[in-house]
Amino acid sequence: MNWNTPEKQRFIKAILSLKTEGETRHFLRDLMTESEINDFAKRLTTAIMLSEQMPYTDIEKQTGFSSRTIARVSKWLNNGESGYKDVIGKIHHHPLSQIRKGLSL
């Protein structure tokens, strides 16, 4: 993917400019539909569960995702650009139950 287009650079700068949970919440809600927000939150939760070695069947039950979607998240978690791993590492100091609760599955 080419990240060097003006639109993508502006998008990255917009995300980096957010300082508070409230600002982030408001921006994401204006940017995405409720369904998209829920889907992205569940993808992150799936990545967290995969990093904890949870079985696909448990992840399917908790997220409602198909095994195909879980496999796609697993692919990016293990062979992507380390985005999931970086974020999981940054939020790792919080109890995972709080992270999952905050993402409201």
Segments making up each domain of the chain, as ranges: 1-31, 34-102
User: At residue 97, does pLDDT exceed 80?
Assistant: no
pLDDT for position 93? 66
Q: How confident is the model at residue 105 (pLDDT cuts 50, 70, 90)?
A: very low
Inter-CA distances, 20 with 15, 25, 51, Å: 11, 9, 27
Q: How confident is the model at residue 51 (pLDDT cuts 50, 70, 90)?
A: very high
